[in-house]
Chain A
Amino acid sequence: MTTLTTVTVVGASLAGLHAARGLRSLGYDGRLVVVGEERHRPYDRPPLSKEFLTGDCDPGEGPGRLALTDPEEEAELDAEWLLGVPAEALDTAAGEIRLAGGRALRTDGVVIATGATPRTLPLPRLDGVHTLRTLDDATRLRAALRADAARVVVIGAGFIGAEVASSCAALGLDVTVVEAAPLPLVPQLGEEMARVCAGLHARGGATLLCGTGVEGWRGSGRVTGVELTDGRVLPADVVVVGVGVRPVTGWLEGSGLALDDGVRCDAGCVTALPNVVAVGDVARLAQPGTARTVRAEHWTSGMLQGAVAARNLLAGSTVEPFEALPYFWSDQYGARIQYAGRRAPGDTVRILEGDPADGGGFLAVYERGGISTAALGVDRPRPFMRLRRELARAPQPAGR
């Protein structure tokens, strides 16, 4: 293997930061550059849809309490930070990353950590229509919700949509959630458990409308309502579009890297080039033993992949696959949902604790052929964690 002298991490959020940390903790002492499209130092995104929106304290200008690093650690990382600068191209033959503004960085190692960006609806842009991904998005939305907004419409009842709706309800606003599918979260949780979690909206005082799309916005210049495909019109002061994200790979067009709803890599986050790795929301990993690939948009995957990718990048090939059991959590309407494992359509659900019908929380396990495949807990943190640990140790059905 060749010794790397410059490694550039493109993307300055959770996964990129953890890759940078991983490189240093494994003894890499060469030049380390971190490029970030946002002007902020790395910060934690999960609170943006929750306490950041509902909190009383003025969030101020920068990441503040959400910062993932402190000055001491930044000094230890000894990295060059190029923030507020999107990357525009990767020339693998020349070993160069081109940045907005024309600057080119020579580099012999690359960590792709450019994350994902919210999908939008094919509709005109209007004031009052928001998406939520970044701190700046959240700051704008927070201000809008506090500026005499009374009626909020959230498009999309996935986890982000549900969390935003929950935060709006907590602020005392009138909230309607519009979901195109007959039931939200079915791909993630299966129908039975999706129905239970969808019930949280009503419990939290929000209205959930399923099975209808968005036809268009009402209002000129500023949104005043949402027109649905079923003909209904919902008055709205603020609209939040939460219809998923797409990985940020446009800057890699022409790089020669395989792009397929993300950057294709092997099971250890390594692309076809041993000196280019990808981590976090943008990385599409091979699943060993199957023809399938997986792109996870989970906080924990982003954090853990950074360390694995750093190790494989320094080794010059994949010496460690990324095998962590998928895990995510969502806080909404006062309930904490936790999921771990790899359920597949057709897995059956068994309730181990509590009763999903009574709203007091429960613990469920997904099973196939007598083997546990995943766990779902609502307000059952301790037993959930026990089950999560058992799942992580247990063999999974073939091909998971």
Chain B
Amino acid sequence: MIPVCRIENLPEGESMRVEAGDATATIAVFHTDGAFYAIDDTCSHQDASLSEGWLEGCYVECPLHAALFDLRSGEPTCLPARKPVRTHAVTVVDGMLYVHPAVRTVPGEPVHAAPEEAVA
């Protein structure tokens, strides 16, 4: 798991980019609608950073082409994006925000879920 920041450093309506560190992907973390969400930072349509996108409720709008992604599922709700981005588990422990990067699935390899953490 990757420490992101103290929760007071990611106020409502803000986002942050974190490097997964193992070449998994860059991850965008959002604080919106009273909850934290994490998805892949790179838009599935073209090279754009979703952490720079426009937040509306549980949706983020890609800054390049206005594709909307549901932060809960990673699914695009409209064109031009057609492929989902991955979602990642987020936990808070003692006021610290952590992201658990979903394991990139490699064909033929077993998939291990990220270890579950107790949410404080």
Contacts and interface: CB of A to CB of B under 8 A. Distances in A.
B52 interface: yes
Interface in A98-144: none
A18 interface: yes
B63 interface: yes
B39 to A, nearest CB: 16
Contact of B63 (A46, A70, A331, A382): A382
A385 B46 contact: no
Given A303-B79, A381-B48, 9 more contacts: A18-B79, A21-B79, A70-B82, A299-B65, A300-B66, A381-B49, A382-B52, A384-B63, A385-B52
Nearest to B61: A385
Interface string B44-74: 0011110011100000010111100000000
A302 to B, nearest CB: 11
Q: Which 10 A-B pairs have the closest CB atoms?
A: A381-B63, A381-B52, A382-B52, A385-B54, A385-B63, A329-B64, A303-B80, A382-B63, A51-B47, A47-B46
B contact patch SS: loop
28 contacts: A18-B79, A21-B79, A44-B46, A47-B46, A51-B47, A68-B80, A73-B82, A299-B65, A300-B66, A303-B79, A303-B80, A329-B64, A331-B47, A338-B63, A338-B64, A381-B48, A381-B52, A381-B53, A381-B63, A381-B64, A382-B53, A382-B54, A384-B63, A385-B54, A385-B61, A385-B63, A386-B54, A389-B54
A163 B8 CA distance: 41
Interface string A306-341: 000000000000000000000001010000101000
Interface of A: 18, 21, 44, 46-47, 51, 68, 70, 73, 299-300, 303, 329, 331, 336, 338, 381-382, 384-386, 389
Contacts of A300: 65-66
A67 to B, nearest CB: 10
A143 to B, nearest CB: 23
A292 B66 CA distance: 28
B60 to A, nearest CB: 11
Nearest to B54: A385
Contacts of B82: 70, 73
A207 to B, nearest CB: 26
Nearest to A300: B65
Contacts of B80: 68, 303
B77 to A, nearest CB: 14
Nearest to A386: B54
A44 B43 CA distance: 15
Contacts of A70: 82
Nearest to B15: A382
Contacts of A386: 54
Contacts of B53: 381-382, 385
Contacts of B47: 51, 331
A73 B81 CA distance: 13
B29 to A, nearest CB: 15
Contacts of A331: 47
